[in-house]
Structure 1
Amino acid sequence: MRHDLHSSQRSSLSCLFYCVYSVVLFVLSIVVIAEGSHHQLRLLKIIRSAFVKV
């Protein structure tokens, strides 16, 4: 019972993290498009690869 509660809390937390990450990624994408800078595009790829590792 306790384990189920913990796992559901963990899944909801990861869902919240994913939602926040999606918003951040969306904002970064807009910034990259607006700036048109290769440096920021590289930064975006680094952040994306870091998230995939997690």
Structure 2
Amino acid sequence: MGHRFSTHSDSEIVLHLYEKFSIECLQYLRGEFAFILWDEARQVFYCLRSLRY
């Protein structure tokens, strides 16, 4: 997609996915994860974590 990452952290992936797909970005994430995200433009706060089955 042409994104340039400025760190070696995988947390940047979530930010880029959210920019492109909003909350639908969750369908592109695999494995265990947790994150908190504040969307200033929409005034929405997300606190999410995956469930291990």
Same fold (TM over 0.5): no
Q: Comparing both structures, which one devotes a greater share of its residues to strand?
A: 2
The TM-score with structure 1 as length reference comes to: 0.30
Larger Rg: 1
Q: Give the alignment's TM-score, normalised by structure 2.
A: 0.30
